[in-house]
Amino acid sequence: MDKGIEIYDQNSYDIVTNVFPRSFPKGQSIEIINSDIFKTAYENFTKEEHFEHVTNYFYSNSKNYSIFNFESKINLNNIRMAVDTRKDFHIIKQIISNFEKPHTNYDMSQILDIIERNKIKCLE
């Protein structure tokens, strides 16, 4: 999140994201949208998907917007760390149960080590 905010603050992008294309695990998405751009674009939302995930509109019309995507050094898009289902919840619970310090003190590589070391199945 800090990296996305830093990129946004130091530039003049309409959107800063890490999912266009995705290279981070699902559930670790960052999408920072300029609020003025969002307000202007909102009147053009016509599809249900635009209202469910508002960034879909911008990605579908990416030629009209300044979108910066930052990527992981290693493509991790096959790892699922989202909590959308009961199964997802149990997977994340397994990961968290292996934390030895506060969750904010872990970076992605440390969490991936926990997943690998404990053979937690979160691949899609």
Q: How far apart are CA 38 and CA 70, in angstroms?
A: 20
Banded model confidence at residue 124, pLDDT cuts 50, 70, 90 = confident
* CB-based contact 79:121 (threshold 8 Å): no
Same domain, 55 and 88: no
Same domain, 48 and 84: no
The 8-class DSSP code of residue 31 comes to E
Q: Identify which has the larger pLDDT, 123 or 96.
A: 96
Same domain, 56 and 99: no
Same domain, 12 and 58: yes
**Which of residues 29, 44, 69 is at a domain's end?**
69
Same domain, 89 and 120: yes
Same domain, 21 and 45: yes
Q: How far is CA 22 from CA 27, 43, 61, in A?
A: 11, 27, 17
Same domain, 65 and 84: no
What are the tens digits of pLDDT across the range 40-76? Answer: 999 999 999 999 999 999 999 999 999 999 999 999 9
Same domain, 59 and 93: no
What range does the domain containing 45 cover? Answer: 2-69
Query: How many domains does the structure of the chain reveal?
Result: 2
Cα dihedral: 26, 79, 19, 30 (round 10): 50
User: For residue 3, is pLDDT > 90?
Assistant: yes
